[in-house]
Amino acid sequence: MGKEEVSAKKRRKINTSSSSDVTKQNPTDVYKRVVEFEETEAQLRPADRDASLFKKLCQDIRQLFADIAELKNKDNEEAKEKINAKRVEASLLLVALKKLNRLEKVRTRAGRDALHKEKQRVDSTHLLLQNLLYEADHLNKEVTKCLQFKSKDEEIELVPVEDFYINAPADVSRADITKKDEHQLQLARLEWELRQRRELAAACNELVASKDRVAAAIAAARSRLDALAPHLKDVLKATKPLQECLALRLDEKRDETRTASLLPPPLFLLYSNAYAYSDVLGSNVVTVSISGDEDDARRLEQLHNIDNDLVASNDSDSDADNNDEEQNKKKRHHRTSKLSKQEKAEAKKKEVLRKHPLNVLLSVKVPDGTALTLIFSYLLHLKIIVVKFTVAQPKPVTGVSAADVLNGHCILNELYPGDTGNDSPHPATAFVLNSVGISETFQYFISEVGRPYIWAQRMCGLDFMSLVVGEQNINKVIEPSRSLSITTVENFILTLKKRLKSRVELMRELQDLESGKITPAKGDMTCPVRLSGSLTQWQSVGWPEYSQSPSTNFLISEGLVTPNDLLYRAIITRQSAKLVAMVALRSDYPKVAPIFSLTLHWNGTHHSGINDDIRDIERIINTDWVSGGDNIHGCLSNQISKLLTCLDILLETSGSSEFPPDKVMLNPVRGRNRVKPYKYLKQGAGVFVQY
């Protein structure tokens, strides 16, 4: 404790002593100066010597302490004095230690400051370096950017260098400079380009201007022409009264020929030939006219013309036609395929089955006033002719089945052998339908569009047969043949007239039959005897009913009767016996005799499949008919009266009391096959024999 106090006193002393020489200055400065002094002292004194001094001092202190301890052990006065002396010495040494310590502290701080300063310097230098690197990088980039720069002039197409030297004037080309300097060359070429383009643009403007001038001139001329038309019309109108006075049909004819020019080629052929034919024959037998929407046709024609223009104009006439067709075809394919993507199936069908807007009407009359009007239409895409027809009768027909004969499609059926008009005669039709994705065959549309009879195609000069035979290439375009049309038109009109005539006669015959009357043709001697049976019903029947009858199996399986024939059911009764005859008339009746198929209801049901007698009668009716040229009419009635006779014979030879023999017969039955005497022999009063 006492030591501490001493040291504190000493410090104060030192402090006072040290401060005594600076007290003259103000007190704050004293510290500063002390600090400054110490700092400079610390700097001046070398640190390692201080360190060794420090060590030596510490050694001394230890030594002193050890001495003191030794002295304390002695514990005498002398010792105590010594101890005090030693204490003082030690305290002085401690002061020195303190001083050294402070110096050390100052030195350390100075070192730290120096380090810190150095560090800062390094940092700033580093930052500077970074900046410089970045700048360098940026400049590099700029340089590459500049190197990569593309000038607009590279995109401009320039004339080749050789041409440039040949064509460009010397003041532009400056060969002496440009040959050496690539850049100058480029500049020169650009300049030349610019000059040239300017010139061309000027030329273009001039041409456009001249074109406009010409167009204006044309427009003016056209407007003059247009203005002319009303004048001409007026003139025409003015001639009308004169025409009427002179009974000239110039106007109508002109109209028709104008419309005719819009017809598609096949129909035009038909029209021209039929027209010529009717001119010769007189219009009371054959008349020809054109119907349909003229405007539509004109529009269609214009479309055609556009197509035509696309075709090279120096082609010959027929070639142009050809190409036109092909063009049309391509276009059609294109159009249809586009449609198939966009529109519904219905629209597709409609497009494929599209008709030319104009139709040719051909009407044929027979003397009694019945007229048949055929409407010929041209399917634009399928390239075939289809026919519809109407019948006009002078007076109404009584009787259902009789009316059918003239009204049903059957009147045109098989006008020529095998020509039912049930399928398109054009071999390409199926492909065309397929290509637009229509799965139905052409038959499906017949009721809608009309029937494509082969004679109709031939009348229009279309011959698909030659196509099939001649070449395998189905896509070949068929050109209407004029000679074919001419020959067919005449032939057809004659055939149709004949058919119509025979149909009118058949209608009368059926009318009679339906009312139960049988009127054999004049001069017919096959049935001079009284007939006991009577025709009680005559009715037309459908194919299902016909084919269901067991008696007709044989005829159908032999292919003798087809659904195309006219089918009737006749019922003949005599007392309790009822004979049902299914009658099939071929379309070309009376060229081919009707075919009878019989079923007898009497004592059970009998037909030719199970009963020989019925078979015998069928044989007589169907085969023994004499196909003479003169009694060709009324053959159906003849057959029916013959049938009545046969029925009488059959019933009267049966031995039944219901049917007493009434006719003279040589033998009621004859031969192993027990044939009845169906044949009439004109001998004496008339006698029936077997053969």
Partner 1 sequence: MLDKILYNTVLCQTFSPCGKYLIAGNIYGQIAVFDLGRILDPVVELLTADYNKPKHIHTFQSEKQICSLASTDKFLIVGSVNEITGWDWKSVVSSKLSKPAWSIKISSKCQIDQTDVNSLWLSEDEEKLYAGCGDNNLYVYNLEDGRLVSTYDGHEDFIHSVHGKNGQLVTAGEDGMVLLWDQRTSKYHNKLEPYKNDKLNRSDVGKWVGSACLGDDWIVCGGGPRLALYHLRSLDAVTVFDLNDHGIHVTFFHDDCIFAAGAAKFLYQLNYSGEVKVELPVSATTVYSAVLRTVPNKVLSIAGSSPEMDLCTTFNYRDQVLHFR
CA 299-449-419 angle, to 5 degrees, is: 125
CB-based contact 394:370 (threshold 8 Å): yes
* Radius of gyration for the chain, computed over Cα atoms and rounded to the nearest angstrom: 66
Nearer to partner 1, 460 or 555 (CB): 555
Give the nearest distance from C-beta 666 to partner 1 in angstroms: 6
d(CA 392, CA 372) in angstroms, rounded, equals 6
Name the burial class of residue 527, with classes exposed (0-12), middle (13-18) and buried (19+) by CB atoms within 10 angstroms of its CB.
buried
Nearer to partner 1, 431 or 691 (CB): 691
Type of residue at 613: D
Nearer to partner 1, 324 or 509 (CB): 509
Would you call 320 helix, strand, or coil by DSSP?
helix
CB-based contact 401:448 (threshold 8 Å): no
Nearer to partner 1, 336 or 622 (CB): 622
User: Which residues are CB-contacts of 258 (< 8 A; sequence separation ≥ 6)?
Assistant: none
Nearer to partner 1, 275 or 589 (CB): 589
Nearer to partner 1, 298 or 619 (CB): 619
CB-based contact 260:271 (threshold 8 Å): yes
Residue with tokens 């006008």: 415
Q: Which residues form the interface with partner 1 (CB under 8 A)?
A: 558, 560, 592-593, 595, 603, 608-612, 615-616, 618-619, 622-625, 627, 655, 666-667, 669-674, 681, 683, 687, 689, 691
- Give me 39's structure tokens: 């700092």
Give the nearest distance from C-beta 685 to partner 1 in angstroms: 13
Evaluated on CA atoms 394, 399, 405, 409, the torsion sign reads positive
Give the nearest distance from C-beta 512 to partner 1 in angstroms: 22
Query: Mapped to the 3 state alphabet, what secondary structure does 614-631 carry?
Result: HHHHHHHHHHCCCCCCCC
Nearer to partner 1, 492 or 596 (CB): 596
- Closest listed residue to residue 175, CA positions, set 165, 160, 183: 165
Residue 225 CA to chain centroid, in angstroms? Answer: 43
Residue 354 CA to chain centroid, in angstroms? Answer: 16
CB-based contact 397:381 (threshold 8 Å): no
Residue with tokens 């003949």: 572
Give the nearest distance from C-beta 384 to partner 1 in angstroms: 34
Nearer to partner 1, 481 or 622 (CB): 622
Give the nearest distance from C-beta 667 to partner 1 in angstroms: 8
Give the nearest distance from C-beta 668 to partner 1 in angstroms: 9
Give the nearest distance from C-beta 352 to partner 1 in angstroms: 42
- Closest listed residue to residue 349, CA positions, set 396, 397, 307, 382: 382
Give the nearest distance from C-beta 609 to partner 1 in angstroms: 6
Give the nearest distance from C-beta 502 to partner 1 in angstroms: 16
d(CA 97, CA 108) in angstroms, rounded, equals 16
Give the nearest distance from C-beta 644 to partner 1 in angstroms: 20
Nearer to partner 1, 87 or 670 (CB): 670
d(CA 329, CA 335) in angstroms, rounded, equals 10
Nearer to partner 1, 158 or 687 (CB): 687
- Closest listed residue to residue 565, CA positions, set 532, 597, 543: 543
